[in-house]
Amino acid sequence: MSHKTCLLLAGFLFCNAANANLRFEEGIARDPQNLRPLYREQHWIRLNDMMPVERLVLYRCMDGTAFARKRVNYLPSAQAPAFEFVDVRRGYLEGLRYKQNQAALWYQPPGKVPEKNVLLTVKNLVVDAGFNEFIRINWPKLRAGNALPLHFAVPTRLQAYKFNLKQTRESQFAGVAAVTYQLKLSGLWSLLADPIEVTYEKSTKRLLRFQGLSNLRNDAGQFDLMTQIDFTQPVRNAPEEDWQKTISTPLAACRMNR
């Protein structure tokens, strides 16, 4: 059994384990219509026995300016982790926290507006980066052709909407065997929104491409930013000081469309 030390900070439980390690990967988000680069996502993932414990994401405009940051804690739930996201371009905050083992979705609009929040009681809840873990957990079922229902949390709506996830195709992606899954709203809602497609490396179950509606606002402050995010560079080990440096990186407003 590994030695583990945990610390509770600002509602998040963070752990350092003797066999934990830190990994880094970067994705480049592009406009899916013209493939023009929009921004970068830099991910640091802390693993314990190859399972994610924490994730730290820094979002940068293409000029290098860091404008948003997200911290994810997988300890309450792998597929519905607690998280906190801040985007300084408009002063927007959102996240999910746990209150007495219940998931509480929240967001704070720009300006001096009180936080809005709601407790979620739906089954099979999936939140933010927990979508990757939901796919990994259910990989055999999805590969067998099963369509799986889930409720995906949307902080700005203070709701979790019902989606269906299914495999659509196998292909070659960046020189490796890959499999693509489609996430689509259930029922009549499916007529109102385009599906999201995610492509994973077949052997490692690593995300290679996300295509669909971004969780970020566009430069005008609207949630209609369509993206194609590619993670084509290999994952690498990262030194622990990178985590602390990323937490303290100052955020500033910038524009994706330049």
Query: What confidence score (pLDDT) does residue 159 get?
Result: 94
Per-residue pLDDT at 187: 63
Model confidence pLDDT, tens digit, residues 68-116: 999 999 999 999 999 999 999 989 999 999 998 999 999 998 887 889 9
Q: Which two tokens stand for residue 214?
A: 């971004």
Give 137-158 pLDDT, tens digit per residue.
999 999 999 999 999 999 989 9
Q: List the structure tokens of 91.
A: 């002063």
| Whole-number pLDDT of residue 110 | 84
Residue of 189, 187, 212, 208 lying closest to 199 (CA atoms): 208
What is the third-level CATH fold of 24-235? Answer: outer membrane lipoprotein receptor (LolB), chain A (2.50.20)
Give 7's pLDDT tier (boundaries 50, 70, 90): very low
pLDDT range class, residue 20, cuts 50, 70, 90 = low
Phi first, then psi: give them for residue 108, nearest 5 degrees. -130, 110
Q: Is the pLDDT at 45 greater than 70, yes or no?
A: yes
Within 10 angstroms of residue 236's Cβ, the number of other Cβ atoms is: 10
Mean pLDDT over all residues of the chain? 90
pLDDT digits (tens, 9 = 90+) for 204-225: 999 999 999 999 999 998 888 9
Domain boundaries, the chain: 24-235
Instruction: Quote the pLDDT of residue 1.
Output: 33
Between residues 60 and 156, which one has the greater pLDDT? 60
208: amino acid identity, one letter: L
> What is the model's pLDDT at position 186?
86
Residue 58 has pLDDT above 60, yes or no: yes
Residue 216, Cβ density class (10 Å: 0-12 exposed, 13-18 middle, ≥19 buried): buried
pLDDT, tens digit, 9 for 90 and up, residues 230-254: 999 999 999 999 999 999 999 999 9
- pLDDT band at 12, cuts 50/70/90? very low
Between CA 221 and CA 228 the distance in angstroms is: 19
The pLDDT confidence band at residue 11, using thresholds 50, 70 and 90, is very low
Q: Is 80 exceeded by the pLDDT of residue 5?
A: no
